[in-house]
Amino acid sequence: MSLFLSLSLPFCDHGRVNRTERLHALTESLRRAPARGRTAQQLADEFEVTTRTIKRDLAALEAGGLPVWGRTGPGGGYGLAEITSLPPVNLTAAQALAINTAVAVATQAPYSDSARAAANKIRDVLDPGTRRQAADLSRRVWVDVGPSAPRRVMTVLEKALVEQVTVNIDYVDARGQATRREVEPMIFAFTGGRWLLVAWCRLRDDVRWFALHRVQRATATRSPCAGHSIDEIGEPPVSARPVG
């Protein structure tokens, strides 16, 4: 039976994430906090960590320049100064629905966590009436998203592409044959209804296309990519284009 994802579901399911992801998600949680803020215990429950870990994370965010405020005592909590908030955004309900739809369809796409965070920022500064109308319309659009790599794998691949360092991957091909290889990420591509990593494979000494859902494990190295050009991938299909 197909699994349909209603767009009215919450954008973010934190679960167990690494610290970098948690700090990013914690920032967004503080940004969406009510005027009184959120307590350390509420944040700890949300991210399934201890209050001690949350307080350490809050200190790290503050040390990094984020204007975190905290109030002690009954009714106290943590939040972000208003200067970090977006100004009101004048979107129609249909435009807000379009953003929700794009993010929901891109659940398995590279950088989908960042897309959800951006959509949450926009949603939070919509006027209440538009927000309610968009939420109601969102229940009228369903998506059925295909498989991709686990988030722990995607995080490594996404960062390696940005930083242009090689990645060691455990890969299982369509015939079920498992290999371990070091690759240089070149592009992410969506074709035939699935996401792929196009990379220079040091094992094969050539460009290879890796279906993301077949990447079992990924570990970034400190070795920089050799600088292979995107042109080495070959001519893209006529219908293909960059996202920006």
pTM, two decimals, is 0.57
Q: Which letter does DSSP use for residue 213 in this model?
A: G
Last residue of a domain, one of 124, 143, 162: 143
Same domain, 73 and 193: no
Last residue of a domain, one of 98, 122, 143: 143
What is the per-residue pLDDT across 60-89, written as a single tens digit (0 to 9) for each? Answer: 888 877 888 888 767 678 988 765 455 566
Instruction: Indicate whether 10 pLDDT > 70.
Output: no
Q: Identify the three-state secondary structure at position 78.
A: strand
Same domain, 64 and 115: yes
Last residue of a domain, one of 143, 159, 174: 143
Over its C-alpha atoms, the chain yields an Rg (Å, rounded) of 21
Same domain, 118 and 203: no
Same domain, 155 and 139: no
Instruction: Indicate whether 108 pLDDT > 60.
Output: yes
Q: Is residue 70 part of a domain?
A: yes
Q: What is the CATH number of the domain that holds 68?
A: 1.10.10.10
pLDDT at 164: 95
Tell me how many domains the chain contains. 2
Same domain, 133 and 176: no
The whole-chain average pLDDT of the chain stands at 82
Nearest to 185 by CA among 213, 214, 154, 216: 154
Same domain, 27 and 51: yes
The range of the structural domain enclosing residue 164 comes to 151-233
Q: Is residue 241 part of a domain?
A: no
Q: Is residue 10 part of a domain?
A: yes
Q: Which residues contact 8 (CB under 8 A, 6 or more apart)?
A: 135, 138, 139
Q: Which residues contact 42 (CB under 8 A, 6 or more apart)?
A: 77
Please, are residues 107 and 147 in contact by the beta-carbon 8 Å criterion? no
pLDDT at 225: 96
Nearest to 11 by CA among 127, 131, 160: 131
pLDDT at 204: 93
Q: Is residue 243 part of a domain?
A: no
